Structure 1
Amino acid sequence: MGPERLAATSIAAIFIVTELVVTVVLAVVSWRAATGRLARNQLTGIRTPSTMRSDQAWVAGHQAAWRLAPLYAANALIACSLLLAAMVRTWSTGSVVILGIVCLVVFVGMALCIAVIAGKAARRATAHHDGPP
């Protein structure tokens, strides 16, 4: 294995591990918060103004995010498959880096969309709770 191929394989492996670790962390945090096992806090979870408004909003937002957790898994599966294919097909190091960055950008975009959905669910829960008796 030449140095170019070794570098490309190593970079792809780093992106694969990163994708898997971040996917597991986000899924576990969403699940724990959605089930009430992770209390509202300043360090982990979806911390939008609407989810931080109350404990009820926190749980409602994370329940909405948890329902979308299969998207995290699907994204990780696709990203890892593409990166593995790049390793097998001996892509150049630059191509592997670009593919890895694109996969992570897609992941971040998806996480931001899920945070927006969670915020909307938290606002609905708060509005329903604060509404007339």
Structure 2
Amino acid sequence: MVFAFASEIGAAVLVTWLTWWAANGTLARNDLAGVRTRITMSSDAAWQIGHRAALRPTVNAGAVTVLWCAVCIGVEPLRTPVSVIVAAVVLVGGALLSIPVAQRAVRRAAPED
């Protein structure tokens, strides 16, 4: 179980790190990582605007996931498959929530361009 929680922590850090890099322009548009929708992939500016907006829900979900997993590692009765699933749901939920947030941000910024 500890390995599963450590893997969840690694995934949360990776997702947060990639979103941070995309938001800051270090991670360019690509077909592998990031919020890859028609709208966010439409231009480099849209990519960066979308990821800046997606950063908050991604960081929040990543932080909650890391904290939950750390608590579960430290508290033996919480080391269960259900707790691993909870961590995965929080992380994936944050990623899914970031998609409409990113798209709305790009749409709002479009008239300004």
- Give the TM-score of the pair, scaled to structure 1: 0.73
User: Looking at CA atoms only, which structure, 1 or 2, has the larger radius of gyration?
Assistant: 1
Do 1:65 and 1:118's aligned partners in 2 also have CA atoms closer than 8 Å? yes
Partner of 2:29, secondary structure, is coil
Matched, 1:15 2:4: yes
* Count of equivalent residues: 112
Q: Which amino acid aligns with 2:82?
A: I
- Summarize deviations over 1:11-56 as a string: whole Å, max 9, x none: 2x12211121111111111111111111111111110221111111
Q: Which residue of the other structure, out of 90, 101, 110, is the alignment partner of 1:117?
A: 101
Unaligned runs of 5+ in 2: none
Root-mean-square deviation (CA, aligned residues, Å) is 1.9
Letter in 1 for 2:13: V
Partner of 1:82 in structure 2?
72
Give the corresponding residue for 1:42.
31
Measure, in 1, the Cα distance between the counterparts of 2:38 and 2:74.
39
Identity of aligned residues (%): 36
- Structure 1 regions of 5+ residues with no counterpart? 1-10
Do the aligned partners of 1:83 and 1:99 also contact (CA within 8 Å) in 2?
A: no
Taking structure 2 as the reference length, the TM-score comes to 0.84
